[in-house]
Amino acid sequence: MANVRISGLHKRYGAFHAVRGIDLDIPDGEFTVLVGPSGCGKSTLLRTIAGLEEISEGTIEIGGEVVNDLRPRDRDVAMVFQDYALYPHMSVARNIGFGLKARKMPQPEIDRRVDTAARMLGITQLLGRLPRQLSGGQRQRVAIGRAIVRNPRIFLFDEPLSNLDAQLRDEMRGEIKRLHQGISTTMIYVTHDQIEAMTLADRIVLMRDGLIEQQGAPLDLFERPATTFVAGFLGSPKMSFLPGRLESRAGSEGIAFGDQFLPLPNGRMAPRTSGDGSVLLGLRPEHLSRAPAGAPPPGCVRYDALVDLVQPTGSRSYATFRLAGEPVIAELQAHDVSRPGETLPIDVNMNRASVFDAATGKAI
Amino acid sequence: MAAVRSARRPRRGGAPVARFVLLGFFLIFVLWPLYWMFNTSVKPSDDYLATPPVWFPTEPTLLHYEVALFTYRGLEGLINSLIISLSATALSALLGTTMAYSLARYNTGGQHLSFWVLSQRFLPPIGIVLPVFLIYRQVGLYDTHVGLIVAYTVFTLPVSVWMMFAYFRGMPRSMEEAALVDGCTRWEAFWRVAVPLAAPGIVAAAVFAFIACWTEFFFALLLTSRTAFTLPTVFRAFIGFQGAQYGEAAALAIVSLVPSIALGVLAQRHLVRGLTLGAVRG
């Protein structure tokens, strides 16, 4: 158990600057997810914590101790790899016990620990098999077993679920979360999948081009994205962005899209842009709903929308329509919408909508 | 992955008869010389060039074997060949594996060193045999086992390094990285994870090295005389002014095949995987 503190971390590969100055504090016991598109430096960051990559600049502390020059084996961390990285020539039991054996633990103690870990993961009956005789999900369990058996200070996961099929991925995601609740060791988890990030994390660190774009609790990032990049990365279907202008009409502040005007609720903000008042209005599918009878609820703007496309998912349907000339997706109850061509009264919840400066992409 | 391995290739069209005929011809092409060599080795001398040919000797004899092995010192040559080839092969595999690992994982010597290693093979051996001969005379390596072992190790090393280099480059790093995080030093990760995984490649490289050493004639002829001579050099004694001793030559050829065949059988399981050089990872 230990906290991790990273300061001023840079990593260069020749001319390529993969990590460009990261400062990050991960408290003891927290489940932190590093997320971002491919090439954003998240895996590199994880590998520098493991000691598999040397760092070009900065410091990494684990449990208050600077580990910059420590070999991976001396950092007391465990890592689960994307391709599992099981040793193909060893049985499952030897795979799990390998780290203990490398540390010269007596065999009876190794057997006991391997057995405990195997029971925890439900793979006792597989201990005698070779990795190639296992399914993907079983391999991943063995890889996790190999990590927990050592009882390390920190767990590192490098996209551990991306080689699994969708159903298995959901299942293993739940197990990893349960594992963390059970042993509450610090975990750092890299993924490019925003659903994994949202469901697993105590804290999400969203990276882009070697820098941290935003970090915080998953719901904070989801509800209050600092930039259009964060807003677009989290959430599925994606947030829709409508380019408009901040204006004052009839005594209320709002966003104008040509003739159309969406007033912002009072006290929502006193927005100022860096440029000429051009903004992007960010609307998530759940910010739009079918209008109930009567007046719109406070903070909501009602208008009639012509449905363009309907994508039913079962309990919910995603309806695409145009607002201010841009396609917008709304998440509606399945019975609210039946087919394209319909006109529906839609309430846009301006309390939850995000507004971004069009020039900088930052939230205002 | 298991499914991929067990999946059969779709069968090509064509009648089975045609296939068997074709295979039959191929077998005859390959096995006929072997049969004739064996036949000659047990024929009495008068039957070598008889017309019509003697297909099956009526009175087979082991006399040629006796003469080749003992009178012509074929047995000594065989033992020397075994000592020298096995030692050179072992050295070449050991050095080749460690060098290739260093090139593949640490990018030792940038992009040029690995090619420089291979470029040693571009040199025609005759270009260096004279200096090597003179140096060996000077330092006392002439006509010694050690001398030939050193020479053969040097000659087989480039190919061993390159085969292993390709193999290691095709191997994912993550298993060694897992070993490092699990508590191994670099050296332990190499020995306990990388080497066992590279076994098919090491075996394939070793087989190539062994065959090269086992059949090498030129250097053995020039760098040895009465002590460290190898099996191939014994053969030249069978062709003299008074005619060729076909029986003895054939007998010794049959004897020289035995280690190669034994090695082939032992290594077969690894060889097929090794020769694909990690192209398909199971």
The C-alpha atoms of residue A51 and residue A62 are separated, in whole angstroms, by 12
Q: Please report which confidence band the pLDDT of residue B42 belongs to, taking 50, 70 and 90 as the band edges.
A: very high
Predicted pLDDT at A271: 59
In chain A, the residue whose alpha carbon lies closest to the alpha carbon of B187 is A102
**For A314-329, how does the pLDDT look when each residue is reduced to its tens digit (9 = 90+)?**
888 999 988 878 889 9
Looking at the complex, does the CB of residue A281 fall below 8 Å from at least one CB of chain B? no
Per-residue DSSP letter, A63: T
Look over chain A and give the mean of its residue pLDDT values, rounded to a whole number: 90
- Which residues in B lie closer than 8 A to residue A99 (C-beta atoms)? 181-183
In chain A, the residue whose alpha carbon lies closest to the alpha carbon of B177 is A52
Q: Locate tokens 């069009």: which residue?
A: A358
- Enclosing H/E stretch for A9: strand A4-13
Q: In what order do the strands lie in the sheet with A300-312?
A: A288-290, A343-349, A300-312, A316-323, A326-333
Q: How much is the pTM?
A: 0.83
Predicted pLDDT at A269: 57
In chain B, the residue whose alpha carbon lies closest to the alpha carbon of A155 is B181
Predicted pLDDT at A163: 87
Mean predicted confidence (pLDDT) in B166-178? 90
**How close is the nearest chain B Cα to the Cα of A290, in Å?**
49
pLDDT over 90 for what percent of chain A? 61
C-beta atoms of A88 and B174 within 8 A: no
Of A85, A102, A146, the CB nearest to B184: A102
Q: Locate tokens 């009648």: which residue?
A: B15
C-beta atoms of B2 and A132 within 8 A: yes
Instruction: Indicate the SS3 state at residue A292.
Output: coil
* Chain B residues contacting A via beta carbons under 8 Å: 1-2, 172, 174-175, 177-185, 188, 192-193, 196-197, 282
C-beta atoms of A88 and B197 within 8 A: yes
- Which residues in B lie closer than 8 A to residue A133 (C-beta atoms)? 2
pLDDT over 70 for what percent of chain A? 97
**For B69-92, how does the pLDDT look when each residue is reduced to its tens digit (9 = 90+)?**
998 899 999 999 999 999 999 999
Beta partners for A252? A249
Mean predicted confidence (pLDDT) in B167-176? 90
Domains and CATH numbers, chain A: 4-233 (3.40.50.300), 240-357 (2.40.50.140)
**Is a pLDDT exceeding 50 seen at residue B279?**
no
ipTM of the complex: 0.86
Q: Please report which confidence band the pLDDT of residue B14 belongs to, taking 50, 70 and 90 as the band edges.
A: low
Predicted pLDDT at B4: 44
**Is a pLDDT exceeding 80 seen at residue B272?**
no
Higher pLDDT pick, A277 / A80? A80
Q: Which of A51-65, A270-284, B149-163 has the lowest mean pLDDT?
A: A270-284
In chain A, the residue whose alpha carbon lies closest to the alpha carbon of B171 is A85
Mean predicted confidence (pLDDT) in B24-50? 90
C-beta atoms of B180 and A103 within 8 A: no
Predicted pLDDT at B280: 38
Alpha carbons within 13 A on the beta-carbon side of A204? 27
Is there a contact between B39 and B23 (Cβ–Cβ < 8 Å)?
Answer: no
Query: In chain B, what is the greatest distance between 2 CA atoms, to the nearest angstrom?
Result: 75
The residue ranges of every structural domain in chain B are 1-61, 64-275
C-beta atoms of A146 and B182 within 8 A: yes
Of B172, B178, B197, the CB nearest to A79: B178
The C-alpha atoms of residue A301 and residue B182 are separated, in whole angstroms, by 58
Was domain B64-275 assigned CATH 1.10.3720.10? yes
**For A124-134, how does the pLDDT look when each residue is reduced to its tens digit (9 = 90+)?**
999 999 998 99
Is there a contact between A331 and A286 (Cβ–Cβ < 8 Å)?
Answer: yes
Predicted pLDDT at B11: 56
Verify cis geometry, omega within 30 degrees of 0, for the bond prior to A237.
Answer: yes
Higher pLDDT pick, A285 / B266? A285
- Which residues in B lie closer than 8 A to residue A79 (C-beta atoms)? 177-178, 181
